[in-house]
Every structure is written in C-alpha cells, then in structure tokens.
Structure 1
C-alpha cells in the first residue's frame, strides 16, 4: 500500500488548481511501482502508448513506440515515457488509490518514465493538473509563474516554450512529489538514471462539452425545439439583441434540465483517452461458473483504468462505464456504489455481493464484457 503524507483537505483548499506545491517525502519508504525492465517491455507492446524523447542540442526529438530495443539511444540524453501504466500493470492500482481524494471523473492516467542522465522534455505548459512523483534517482525540476510565454523557436505548433523565471527550483529524490496546476510552466532534467511517475487529472473544455452535447442530441434525436420570437427588428439586415439572447436561451434551457445533459456527461466522463486492457472471457461465464469460481476462493477485480461513475441526483438509476449507461434496480444501488468505489474485492466481499440475484446478474454482465475478471 502507498500512504500519501499530505493533508488532503488543506491541499484542496489552499493549492488544488490554485498554485504549485512541493511535498518532500510525500511517500515515505516509497517502493518502485514497476522496474525499468518491465517498463521497457511494456513499451514493446502495440497496444501500449509509449514514446522516447531524445534531447539534442537544446532541442527534442520524439520517437513513438512500440520499441524493439533501446541500444540506439545510448546511455544519456533520452527518456522513455509510457502512458496509462495503470491499464496494463495491475499493481499500480494501490498507488492510484492514494489520489482518490480527487474524483474519478477527473482522473486521466498514470504515466511512468525511465530517464537517463540529461534526459528531459524541455520547458512546457500543460492544460491539466499533474502530480510528479520521484522514484529511484534524481531529477531537477523548475516551475514558473503563470503568464504569457513565447513558443520555442517561434513554432506555434509546439507545446514547448522558450523559458521562465522559476518560483520552485528543486531536486526531487525518492518519494518526493511536485504538484503543478494547469497553466504553470515547468521543466524537468534528469541528473542520474531515474524512474518517475505522473498522475494526470483533466477536465473538459467548453469546446469538448459543446461537441459532446451536440453529438448526444443528434444520437438521441432530442434538442429539436426551435427559436421563436415576439418582435422583429426594423432593419431586415439586423440580428437584434433580443433574437441573439433568445437563441442562446435555447442552450441555457438544455443546461438547466438534468434529463438533457446527465446521460451525455456520464458517457463522456466515463470514457478513457487510452486503450483499456479488456479481459473478455473465451467463453461467456454462466451464473453457475461465477458462483463456482467464487466458492473456490476467487477474487473479483476491475480492469485497470476502467471508470464506474454515478451522478448525484441522477434522473435514472444507472451507472456509467466506459462511455455507456447501465441501468440497475434501485434495490441494489448500495452494491453498485460499492463496485464503483473499489478496484478489487476479496473472496468474502465478492461472496457477499453475490447474495443478491440482481447484483449477481449485473456482475455477470461486467465479467462477460471484460470489465471485471476473476483471479487469485
């Protein structure tokens, strides 16, 4: 288990999405989540999102995975980044649990990095919240103040910037953590061969919300109400202010009706940016199969990265899983909430869940979808 040495209530009040924070010894006696060799092996897989960033004369070259070997990169000036480690490495679930004081809908992924001396990605600005946790080795981090910064080499397509004046300048060592909110420039450079991890949290933009809402309305053939008016402008070429406001009022009407947006939000926020390691069985489980495995001591696991979200005051009794709504009887709401709250269940917990036939049927559906699996 990973114990986070942080007053989470104070953090949410004083720092979350407000300003950066350095937490020395955030994870006392930190144990590496994955070995460098295991990480390198994952980056050989087609399904895994990986890249190598090579530092060259104050410039950076990005090589996309998968990788067959790493000899060509040499002994320094590069780092390997593997996204969504939590999708492919079950042991990382315990680490992610330490950050669930922030809601699951915001969680993006756990990224792992193996870096050689002088490896780094350059000064840049992210549009999401990130926690950077140092494993073995040392990395030098600087963080600047929010502001307007020139793009690297005047290239409008690059996320890199020319530079900044640091407000945090620190060497991270094993177990240290750095929190950086959106919009704050930062840069990391490896001093010694190092492992590090970043936990990212995202929120939708206005563009993304409007796009999803539009798609949702089209898919459900709803939102068909049209604008009407009680007055017309004197000039035929004029779009009056009252007409402008009346049209936008149609949008605000949708936003004030939960039945119009809850399904869209639930589907949108339960999806993942990265591929999931779906564990569909070779042959569908029967109820008897599931009961037999549990009676023999099997444990129940959720696949890595899968989100189960429930909306407060939802207009329908349902849970959102991987971009899809699953309705359930109100009588088993507590069981569904437990499934959403935990990543895995020991045999006793699984046995208790299966006592209710309606919960049995729901878990059977999740097993046959490959969203949950039975194991030792």
Structure 2
C-alpha cells in the first residue's frame, strides 16, 4: 500500500498523515468515506450467519429499561421481530465468512496486520444500541445501511453500572454528536466513550483491532517457550548432591530457585525464540476457524491466500496460521510479498525454488491458500 497516497476512506488524508495525527490520539469523522456504499452483506445473510455454530454472535435488548444479553447461535425465530424496537444483533468476524467483507477489511491494512483483528456487523432495530461504553482498542465505525446517531466524549469517569450483562458507563458525558449516513465513517481511539443509537433500522460495520494485555501476551509467549523447552531432550534435571539435611522442610531451597531462574533465562536466550513465539501467536487462527483441504497435486499457476489465513513475517521468519519457517534470500522475498499482497502470480512463482514451491503446494493442500490464474 502507498502510505503517501490520499484516501477518500480517510477524508483525503494519506495513511501516513492519519497514523501521525489521529491513531490512538483523537477521533476522525469522514463523510462519504466510501461514496455510494452498498453493503456486501444484507440483513437476511447476516441473520443466516448468526444461526451457525462457528460464528460468534450476540443479541442485546433493552426491555422496559433493563439490559439483556444472549449469545448465539440464533435461529431466525429466536430473534425479535423487525418491528420490535431497541434490539441489536452483533455478528463477529464476518470477514472470515464473506470474500467481499474480507476485501473491505483489506482497505485498512495501513495498520500492521499484527494489530488488525476483524470486522463485526451490528444490525439494530429502531432505537437499538448497546449503551454508552468504551473500547480498549481502536475502532472504525462504518455506516452500512440506515442512520445511526453517535454521541462521543473523552470520558474521565469510567465507572460502570453494576449488575448489568454489558459494560455500560454509569455517568456518560458526551461532548459531540453526529448522525452517520451510509458510507460515513467515524474513527475512535481506545477508551473514547461512545453511544450509538439506530435512527430506524440500520447496520454498522465495526473494524476492530487487537490490543493484547501485557499479562496475556506474557502468558501466551511463556507457554510457547515452555513447549519449545520440553522438546529439548538434553535439558538437565535438577540435582542437589550437596544438599544438607534441613531442620525446616517446608522452606524452598535457594538452589532450586536459582535453577528455575536459569531455566527461564535459558528459554529466553535461545536465538530467535521470543520472536518465533510472538509470530506464531499473532498468526494463530481463532478457535472457530477451520480450513477445507484443497485438491492435492494441483499445478501452481498463481497462489492466493485463503481469507481466513493469517500470514506475517519478521527479519528471519515467515509465519502462517500459527506455524513458523526460517526464510532467507530470494524465497524470503517471495514469501514476504505473498504476506503483504496475499497473492502471487505465475511470474512470481517462476522465480521460486523447488523448496518454496513444495511449501506453497502443501499450504494449498491444507486449504491455507488456493491456486488461481491471473
């Protein structure tokens, strides 16, 4: 992507300008970010997705002033009537199930893939919403159908109302208000309070981002490093030949503490161990994602990544769907291009080594990628 090219998606800003001026700093309202926008997923298709076991969906209702939350899947009969006001259906990760929605999400790849999460579609009946709240991550709110009135503010008091199934702010203090039409988009940085109310029937597309907590990231990485350490057949066992008899048996020996500390230090000191664990974590598919195996032995003309595939790289590795590969030279350049552009043409494959072609073929067999003719 040319990050110096002005985009209507960003109101005429270049991606470089947007990231410098607004990302994690201040909101941006863009009128007609996508002119004459026609939503790729209609209401009936969204309802059908919400009925599937492998699709994360939620139903939020406010009945007589009380908030209610249910988790899917939902049959059509389980959803309220279209005439009933004040309910919202939220369907997560629609980009994993629809090529056009996946293509829409790709327009936001001026942010690293390591941060880009998914596209959620919110359908709301008149007056539907999820209450004033804040997110811990950046979000783009693209109006797809109908109108939604947004009130936003830099909330200092983040107290939540007790006893609710939703995180609703107790004392919401809006500072600005906008009504979004189809094609309009609002960007909000993390922890910026907002409340969206449907003005009649409406659909909103939310482009969300990953923001792992430090503790979560440490836990995940340490678990992966521990798996690598368990594969080392030469790892020493704790030994204490000089251990004297002790009068206080419950006291943990200092030598054992030193041994444990050395084990962690050794795991982190392995060349590229942390980088490898991070790349595998960032490309791990969500639990609900599954791939359909391709036809083995198909000749590669061009290769295109499956919309569900997550592929990234660093200076020494290529990562795909939770697996890592050392990469260098011409093949590394080729694989990085595949990760960035999500496809390779026949002319690109003509420069690939036999090992690279074999690897690409195995990804096609697994359904992680597909062959195509340019």
TM-score by length of 1: 0.81
Map of 2:141 onto structure 1: 132
Map of 1:269 onto structure 2: 282
| 2:9 is aligned with 1:4 | yes
Distance (Å, rounded) in 2 between the aligned partners of 1:12 and 1:319: 26
Q: With CA pairs under 8 Å and 6+ residues apart, which has the higher RCO, 1 or 2?
A: 1
Query: 1:70: Cα distance to partner?
Result: 4.3
Contact 1:79 1:116 in 2 (8 A): yes
Distance (Å, rounded) in 1 between the aligned partners of 2:58 and 2:23: 29
Map of 1:231 onto structure 2: none
1:191 partner SS: strand
Map of 2:104 onto structure 1: 95
Distance (Å, rounded) in 2 between the aligned partners of 1:9 and 1:21: 14
Query: 1:322: Cα distance to partner?
Result: 1.6
| 2:367 is aligned with 1:370 | yes
Query: 1:89: Cα distance to partner?
Result: 0.2
Distance (Å, rounded) in 1 between the aligned partners of 2:299 and 2:72: 38
Contact 2:69 2:165 in 1 (8 A): no
Map of 1:69 onto structure 2: 76
2:324 partner SS: strand
Distance (Å, rounded) in 2 between the aligned partners of 1:251 and 1:174: 53
1:200-219 paired onto structure 2 within 5 Å = 200-219=208-227
2:46 pairs with one of 21, 39, 47: 39
Distance (Å, rounded) in 1 between the aligned partners of 2:339 and 2:164: 42
User: Larger deviation: 198-207 or 354-363?
Assistant: 354-363
Deviations 1:30-61 (A, max 9, x none): 22121111111111222111122222233322
Contact 2:334 2:348 in 1 (8 A): no
| 2:213 is aligned with 1:197 | no
Map of 1:279 onto structure 2: 292
Deviations 1:328-372 (A, max 9, x none): 453311210121012345xxx145425533332121111111111
| 2:176 is aligned with 1:165 | no
Query: 1:158: Cα distance to partner?
Result: 4.2
1:339-350 paired onto structure 2 within 5 Å = 339-344=338-343, 349-350=345-346
Distance (Å, rounded) in 1 between the aligned partners of 2:222 and 2:79: 47
Map of 2:243 onto structure 1: none
| 2:93 is aligned with 1:84 | yes
| 2:323 is aligned with 1:324 | yes
Distance (Å, rounded) in 1 between the aligned partners of 2:262 and 2:65: 51
Query: 1:301: Cα distance to partner?
Result: 3.0
Distance (Å, rounded) in 2 between the aligned partners of 1:255 and 1:181: 33
Distance (Å, rounded) in 1 between the aligned partners of 2:145 and 2:166: 30
Q: 1:256 to 1:4 in 2, by over 3 A?
A: farther
1:320 partner SS: strand
1:138 partner SS: strand
Pairs aligned (count): 343
Query: 1:305: Cα distance to partner?
Result: 3.4
1:93 partner SS: helix
What runs of 5+ residues in structure 1 fail to find an aligned partner?
A: 227-243
